Amino acid sequence: MTGATSDVPASDGVRPLLEVRELKVLIRAAGGNVRPVDGVSFSIAAGETFALLGESGCGKSMTALAINRLLPDAARIEGGALGLAGDDLLRLPETRMRSVRGGRIGMIFQEPATSLNPVMTIGDQIGEALQLHRNLRGAQARAETRQLLESVGIPGAGERLDDYPFQFSGGMKQRVMIAMALAGHPELLIADEPTTALDVTIQAQVLDLLAGLQADRGMAMLLITHDLGVVARMAHRVGVMYAGELVETGPRQAFFNTPLHPYARKLFAALPDGARRGTMLDAPVGSVPALDQDFVGCRFADRCPQAFDRCDDESPGWQHIGAQAVRCHLYDEDSVPRPLHRAEAGDVAPAGRSGGAPLIEVRDLEVHFPVHKGLLRRVVGQVRAVDGVSLTLSAGRTLALVGESGCGKTTVGKAILQLNQSTGGAVFYNGERQTGLSRDALMPMRRGVQMVFQDPFASLNPRLRIGEIIEEGMLSLGVAGDAASRRKTVDALLDRIGLSPSMRWRYPHEFSGGQRQRIAIARALAVSPKVIVCDEPTSALDVSVQAQLLNLMCELQQELGLAYLFITHNLAVVEYLADEVAVMYLGRIVEHGPAARVLGAPAHPYTRALLAAVPKVTAEAHLPALTVSSDLPSPLDPPAGCHFHPRCPLASDICRAAYPAEQSMGGGHRVRCHWAGAEVPALRKAG
């Protein structure tokens, strides 16, 4: 170990392509100056991937924008140095910087749906980059655009040049963004959360694509993410960022074997998996501190379980332990922690789960949406969003409904609450049929079954204070009595979800994403429901915020006997939380049973593909995931026979001819597959 330094070492013996030294960014605001990047240093060599890891609000994306000199108008680079292959980026005039941006440095932005111009065709948008950075026009540019789309795996690339962004799925839009970033033949690719909220299969495809393109082109890559699985899959070196500064760096294997900083170790402790089922996740309390203050001591001290007096009074310098570097006072005395064991868990959650008669029973549910065409708006087809789904859910139990986007999961959830009108089948609540009832007759079910939507910001009224938002349901459904009783209930709910009752006067925009999701849960709890339908409640949340939310849900379920229908594509969360799992594909349940059996011994090739696509949080480098290579077919025209056969590596003639009947695998485990129970070859990559 050496003493503290002000810098972080570059890759051993390799001249870096990108050098970031003591980078500082200042944002002028009415309430005081904000420093989202405060002395950050790292380097990346050609062909290397450096992963910048941390929670939302820690400064990762602002670091990337500063490298590209794309800061907001109120922000400026206050100090430091940026070098790209020997060129000083901070000294380049804006005219030259335009050729660097999109040329030598490509960038994949976090949200492709908002980054692509909705009124320009895909071909024109990529063509702009080709014209600016490579001086290609006309037929030559169109041919290169087609080649770029083919290189990122867009099917029928030539026919899709004149399509608009809305005609592409989320995964395809992300591929288009990658093609656009590659148009200028970049030396450095910055990928800002390139797989956030994508399905595990699409995520695996995008990660495989990026790794292959990097190997072919020798690009350096700055990967910004909060997903430790993605870091394990892609990174050569890792940097952990907290409150505007790096707190740890090191090679991937060393970092995953023995994370040094207490914050990094807390991130690992917050990861949900089957080994931690029945325990509380050890998430860091609180959130990233506001960056409009002058820090004196360690910025993590308020959330650190190992903090002592010196941490409050003195900012730690860099300490080097082998190839790793850490900014923490704990290492001043040569104390090195043990390697991290994933089996370590937090406190044991309250034991015991309910059961008994089903609260919710879904029988052969169908939801078909008509497709209209022409001047007379004639019905020319049906989108079979839900096509014969049967489920049951009992008190105190969690049923996870998993599958790719577009498979019908959310439509099932909304149909249970009669927010979508069913075209067949029935939904029962407490043994009483709900389908076909009037609005007034649905009131008892609406009180007993509530929904937490995927995007809390979109589902919370921005014009109402959160106290009014939580109280709104009570007023609408006639519960909680007079104004004083409702206020008392709101204050108790805010305290229960970890917020202060005094916050009832704030508006939704004044809260973080994790806090807004907690408010959405409080709104659902306000009418004392028995069932909560959770639609992707942890999607795009940081691992620490996700752990806090999962802990809260576990506590509420044990205390109140709540039943959860948990709609998600996050299989690690399913493994930790769910009692039962239903796997959905193109409107139908293809596998259903106890979570331990479905996830431990999946019988359907689709379930096996989903599990194989999940990046493993391990130190060892692993091969690209075995997964399906094409996108989900359209529910407007599902394939004949087994709907999965075009993507299945085991498909045979019977799979193409007939939809498989349901088979029992024992222990409540059921599957629809012609190969179920038969000797089959190992799953290989389809295509």
Confidence of residue 374 (pLDDT cuts 50, 70, 90): confident
Asked whether residue 352 carries a pLDDT value surpassing 70, the answer given is no
Per DSSP bridges, beta strands 34-44 and 49-53 are: unpaired
Instruction: Give the pLDDT score at 12.
Output: 53
Please say whether the dihedral angle defined by the alpha carbons of residues 663, 666, 670 and 673, taken in this order, is positive or negative. Answer: negative
Confidence of residue 114 (pLDDT cuts 50, 70, 90): confident
Q: What is the pLDDT of residues 239-249, one digit of tens each?
A: 999 999 999 99
Angle, nearest 10°, between helix axes 483-496 and 513-525?
130
Q: CB–CB of 593/665 below 8 Å?
A: yes
Q: What is the pLDDT of residues 452-478, one digit of tens each?
A: 987 777 889 999 999 999 999 899 888
Q: CB–CB of 649/616 below 8 Å?
A: no
Greater model confidence, 195 or 594: 594
Q: What is the pLDDT of residues 41-74, one digit of tens each?
A: 999 999 999 999 998 889 999 999 999 999 989 9
Asked whether residue 255 carries a pLDDT value surpassing 90, the answer given is yes
Name the one residue in this structure whose structure tokens are 């008392």.
Answer: 488
Asked whether residue 1 carries a pLDDT value surpassing 70, the answer given is no
Q: What is the pLDDT of residues 571-602, one digit of tens each?
A: 999 999 999 999 999 999 999 999 999 999 99
For 634-660, what is the mean pLDDT?
92
Q: CB–CB of 567/536 below 8 Å?
A: yes
Q: CB–CB of 325/8 below 8 Å?
A: yes
* Overall fold of domain 358-672: Rossmann fold (3.40.50)
For the ranges 340-354, 480-494, 617-631, the lowest mean pLDDT is seen at 340-354
Q: CB–CB of 676/662 below 8 Å?
A: no
Asked whether residue 339 carries a pLDDT value surpassing 70, the answer given is no
Asked whether residue 530 carries a pLDDT value surpassing 50, the answer given is yes
Q: What is the pLDDT of residues 205-250, one digit of tens each?
A: 888 889 998 999 999 999 999 889 999 999 999 999 999 999 999 9
For 363-378, what is the mean pLDDT?
89
Q: What is the DSSP string of 538-564?
A: TTT--HHHHHHHHHHHHHHHHHH--EE
Residue 493: how many other CB atoms lie within 10 Å = 23
Residues present in the chain in total: 687
Instruction: Give the pLDDT score at 287.
Output: 80
Q: CB–CB of 552/498 below 8 Å?
A: yes
For 353-370, what is the mean pLDDT?
87
For 90-112, what is the mean pLDDT?
90
For 606-615, what is the mean pLDDT?
90
% of the chain with per-residue pLDDT over 90:
62
Instruction: Give the pLDDT score at 345.
Output: 46
For 641-651, what is the mean pLDDT?
92
Instruction: Give the pLDDT score at 337.
Output: 60
Q: What is the pLDDT of residues 401-447, one digit of tens each?
A: 999 888 899 999 999 999 999 999 999 999 999 999 999 999 999 99
Instruction: Give the pLDDT score at 5.
Output: 41
Per-residue three-class SS string for 155-219:
CCHHHHCCCCHHHCCHHHHHHHHHHHHHCCCCCEEEEECCCCCCCHHHHHHHHHHHHHHHHHHCC
Asked whether residue 13 carries a pLDDT value surpassing 60, the answer given is no
Tokens coding 231 = 């870091």
Asked whether residue 615 carries a pLDDT value surpassing 60, the answer given is yes
Helix, strand, coil percent values for the chain (each to nearest 5):
35, 25, 45
Confidence of residue 372 (pLDDT cuts 50, 70, 90): confident
Angle at alpha carbon of residue 131, lines to 129 and 135, rounded to 5°: 130
For the ranges 95-99, 115-119, 211-215, 633-637, the lowest mean pLDDT is seen at 633-637
Asked whether residue 333 carries a pLDDT value surpassing 50, the answer given is yes
For 523-530, what is the mean pLDDT?
93
Query: How far apart (Å, rounded) are the C-alpha atoms in residues 257 and 619?
Result: 6
Instruction: Give the pLDDT score at 334.
Output: 55
Confidence of residue 174 (pLDDT cuts 50, 70, 90): confident
Mean residue pLDDT across the chain? 88
Instruction: Give the pLDDT score at 338.
Output: 55
Name the pTM for this structure: 0.86
Asked whether residue 344 carries a pLDDT value surpassing 50, the answer given is no
Asked whether residue 545 carries a pLDDT value surpassing 50, the answer given is yes
Q: CB–CB of 588/672 below 8 Å?
A: yes
Confidence of residue 274 (pLDDT cuts 50, 70, 90): confident
Question: What is the domain partition of the chain in residue ranges?
Answer: 358-672
Asked whether residue 495 carries a pLDDT value surpassing 80, the answer given is yes
